[in-house]
Amino acid sequence: MNNSRGFTLLEILVVISIIAILAGLIIPAYYKAKDRARETKALVAVKALETAFRSYLDAYKVWPDEFVDGDVKGDVFRILRGEAVGGANSQAIPFYEFEFVTNSSMDSTTAYDPWSDPNKSTTWQIYQVKFDRTYANKITVGGETVYRGVIVWSVGENRENEYGQGDDVASWR
- Cβ atoms of 137 and 150 closer than 8 Å: no
Alpha-carbon gap, residue 14 to 137, rounded angstroms: 64
Going from N- to C-terminal start, the domains of the chain cover 9-170
Give the separation between CA 104 and CA 72, rounded to whole angstroms. 19
Per-residue pLDDT of the chain (173 residues), as tens digits, is 455 566 788 889 999 999 999 999 999 888 889 889 989 999 999 999 999 999 999 999 999 999 989 889 899 999 999 999 988 999 999 999 988 776 666 777 888 888 877 666 556 778 889 999 999 999 998 888 999 999 999 888 766 656 666 778 889 98
Neighbour order of strands in the sheet with 70-71: 70-71, 128-131, 150-154, 169-170
In terms of DSSP bridges, do strands 139-141 and 144-146 run parallel, antiparallel, or are they unpaired?
Answer: antiparallel
The predicted structure's pLDDT at residue 104: 64
